[in-house]
């Protein structure tokens, strides 16, 4: 009987049941052979080649061990055929299980070069989504995020030969990924300039300026953390983003430390080189793992959500062209009108009932006058400082004040509309209480005047606060 990489495990165990104990002694993962379900499913198609790949036990070790045991127990000689590696295809689940096995061995201290060869020889290719799923499953199975982060660079090195073959698709201007990559190109410019500084003391002023520019990468990270990661988490992908967020914090801390030491004149080349390596590795992880994975995972609707809050956070070094638009008509309708009766706000969605509850539970009285000086809203709180009634809705605000106050009202509104002022503050004493009244100019993102918000608050008790209160007393 020949023994090769293509030999079926179930056939061997059927003929030589004692081999199960031999296999378990070689690697604990073979305990799965005790599972009837495993034997009926994977066991029927599992070859020694597949088993070697999953467990990491080389065929050079596995096949002689089997042949020796069969010889010892039965006297039969198995011919060990040293054929070429079996050409195998894998289901997504098998590929992820194999990747997890490699990384678990890596974390357990196995030889890095041997694992890299094992990957290159047996898997040869890997998709960014599979790395993300692998990390997600490892975290779900109890591997600490900090442990994954610690060896994240090693993970990338193991898979680098495969990842280097991946080509990022060209994205239209304005798409979040296009913007991220534009920022990466600018970051590389600053990194290259830092690398060309020969004397850290003589060129300290220039180095400080470059590090000030590099520190702006925080906006790049913030958009990932606050716009991209939440959308991924909604898809059930949270592990990789948590690991990458932790790496962001490491880079932030390193930038802060390096800038401080440059100012003090105590920086050494190794510290600067470490920062540069961290930045370059992050760019690589983004463009070879994160971005390809997100492009495979997220729809245009999802990207519209990512894009919706980017302007508020800001960009690093660039101002992207706003060309890209989601192709989904449903997305455009949703962005304009909200969905399921909700209001699609800048930072979330609220129903009309929720908005009303929020406004009427705030410890202030609110009134809103639109750009045409018409009163269009007031908060109907239980204990309003200044009475209001539905009759004022749609009324000119000038007509809601006594004649002696109209001049001041119009002056405030004129200054707001002209863009000369943004706030006006007053305080009065009424019925033994101290009342603060504030007016705010409301402008859109282009600076266009949209109305005036009046906020009135009884601050008597606030003014009397002293010391501090840190414990709950009820």
**φ and ψ at 126, to 5 degrees?**
-150, 140
Please tell me the predicted confidence (pLDDT) of residue 52. Answer: 67
| Reported confidence tier of residue 259, pLDDT bands at 50, 70, 90 | very high
Rounded distance between C-alpha atoms, residue 312 and residue 289, angstroms: 26
**Per-residue confidence (pLDDT) for residue 64, from 0 to 100:** 84
- Residue 430: burial class (beta carbons within 10 Å; 0-12, 13-18, 19+): exposed
- How far apart are alpha carbons 250 and 283 in whole angstroms? 14
What contacts 401, CB < 8 A, 6 or more positions away?
409
282-305: pLDDT as tens digits: 988 888 778 888 888 888 888 988
Question: Phi/psi of residue 428, each to 5°?
Answer: -140, 165
Q: How far apart are CA 171 and CA 155, in angstroms?
A: 27
The mean pLDDT value for 455-472 works out to: 92
Domain ranges for the chain, please list them: 2-80, 92-163, 176-313, 362-463
Q: How much is the pLDDT for 189?
A: 92
CA–centroid distance for 224 within its chain: 5
What architecture is domain 176-313? Up-down Bundle (1.20)
Range of 136-150, 239-253, 365-379 with top mean pLDDT? 365-379
**Is the pLDDT higher at 89 or at 230?**
230
Confidence bin at 402 (pLDDT 50/70/90) = low
Check whether 29 has a pLDDT greater than 70: no
* Neighbouring residues of 236: CB distance < 8 A, sequence distance ≥ 6: 136
Enumerate residues 6+ apart whose C-beta is below 8 A from 427.
434, 435, 436, 437, 459
- Asked, colleague to colleague, whether 176-313 and 362-463 share their fold, the answer is no
pLDDT on residue 424: 96
Residue position matching structure tokens 């045991």: 69
Instruction: Report pTM.
Output: 0.47
The better pLDDT of the pair 389, 472 is held by 472
Residue 441's pLDDT is 97
Which secondary-structure segment (H or E) carries 127? none
The yes or no reply on domain 2-80 and CATH 1.10.3910 is yes
State the pLDDT at residue 134. Answer: 65
Confidence of residue 353 (pLDDT cuts 50, 70, 90): confident
Q: How confident is the model at residue 246 (pLDDT cuts 50, 70, 90)?
A: confident
For the cut 60, the answer to whether the pLDDT of residue 385 exceeds it is yes
* CATH top class, domain 362-463: alpha beta
**CA angle, 389 then 395 then 399, to 5°:** 95
Q: Contacts from 417-424 at CB under 8 Å and sequence distance 24+?
A: 417/371, 417/449, 419/447, 419/449
349/313 Cα distance (integer angstroms): 18
Q: Give the range among 78-87, 231-240, 311-320 with minimum mean pLDDT.
A: 78-87
- Confidence band, pLDDT 50/70/90 cuts, at residue 413: very high
Quick one: tokens of 86?
């079996």
Going by pLDDT thresholds of 50, 70 and 90, the confidence category of residue 65 is confident
State the pLDDT at residue 165: 52
Say if residue 389's pLDDT is above 70.
Answer: no
Averaged pLDDT for residues 338-350:
63
Alpha-carbon span 399 to 379, nearest angstrom: 19
Mean of per-residue pLDDT scores for the chain: 79
* Residue-wise pLDDT tens digits, 185-239: 899 999 999 999 988 888 899 999 999 999 999 999 988 888 888 888 888 877 7
- Find out whether 274 and 254 touch, Cβ atoms under 8 Å: yes
């Amino acid at each position: 009987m020949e023994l090769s990489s293509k030999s079926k495990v179930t056939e061997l165990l059927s003929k030589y049941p004692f081999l199960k104990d031999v296999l378990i002694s070689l690697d604990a993962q073979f305990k799965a052979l005790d599972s009837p379900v495993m034997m009926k499913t994977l066991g029927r198609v599992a070859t020694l080649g597949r088993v070697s790949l999953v467990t990491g036990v080389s065929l050079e070790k596995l096949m002689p061990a089997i042949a020796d045991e069969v010889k010892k127990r039965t006297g039969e000689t198995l011919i060990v055929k040293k054929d070429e590696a079996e050409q195998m295809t894998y289901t997504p689940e098998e590929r992820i299980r194999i990747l997890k096995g490699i990384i678990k061995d890596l974390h357990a201290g196995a030889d890095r070069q041997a694992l890299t060869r094992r990957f290159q020889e047996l898997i040869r290719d890997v998709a960014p989504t599979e790395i993300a799923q692998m990390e997600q499953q490892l975290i779900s199975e109890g591997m600490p995020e900090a442990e994954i982060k610690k060896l994240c660079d090693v993970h990338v090195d193991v898979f680098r030969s495969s990842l280097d073959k991946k080509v990022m698709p060209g994205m239209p201007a304005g798409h979040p990924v296009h913007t991220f990559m534009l920022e990466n190109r600018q970051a590389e410019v600053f990194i290259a300039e830092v690398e060309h500084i020969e004397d850290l003391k003589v060129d300290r002023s220039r180095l400080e300026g470059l590090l000030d520019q590099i520190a702006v990468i925080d906006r790049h990270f913030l958009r990932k953390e606050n716009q991209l990661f939440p959308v991924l988490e909604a898809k059930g992908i949270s592990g990789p983003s948590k690991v990458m967020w932790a790496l962001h914090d490491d880079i932030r801390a390193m930038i802060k430390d390096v800038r401080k030491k440059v100012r003090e004149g105590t920086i050494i080349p190794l510290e600067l080189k470490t920062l540069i390596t961290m930045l370059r590795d992050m760019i690589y992880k983004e463009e070879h793992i994160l971005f390809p994975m997100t492009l495979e995972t997220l729809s245009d609707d999802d990207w519209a959500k990512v894009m919706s809050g980017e302007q508020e956070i800001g960009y690093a070094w660039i101002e992207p062209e706003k060309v890209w638009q989601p192709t989904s008509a449903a997305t455009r309708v949703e962005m304009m009108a909200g969905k399921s009766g909700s209001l699609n706000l800048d930072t979330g969605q609220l129903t009309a009932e929720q908005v009303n509850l929020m406004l009427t539970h705030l410890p202030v009285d609110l009134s809103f006058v639109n750009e045409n000086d018409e009163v269009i809203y007031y908060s109907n709180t239980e204990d309003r400082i200044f009475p209001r009634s539905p009759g004022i809705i749609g009324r000119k605000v000038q007509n809601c004040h006594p004649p002696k106050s109209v001049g001041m009202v119009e002056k405030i509104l004129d200054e707001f509309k002209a863009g000369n002022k943004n706030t006006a503050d007053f305080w009065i004493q009424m019925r033994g209480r101290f009342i603060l009244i504030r007016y705010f100019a409301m402008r859109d993102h282009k600076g266009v005047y949209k109305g005036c918000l009046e906020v009135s608050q009884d601050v008597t008790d606030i003014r009397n606060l002293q010391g501090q209160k840190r414990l709950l007393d009820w």
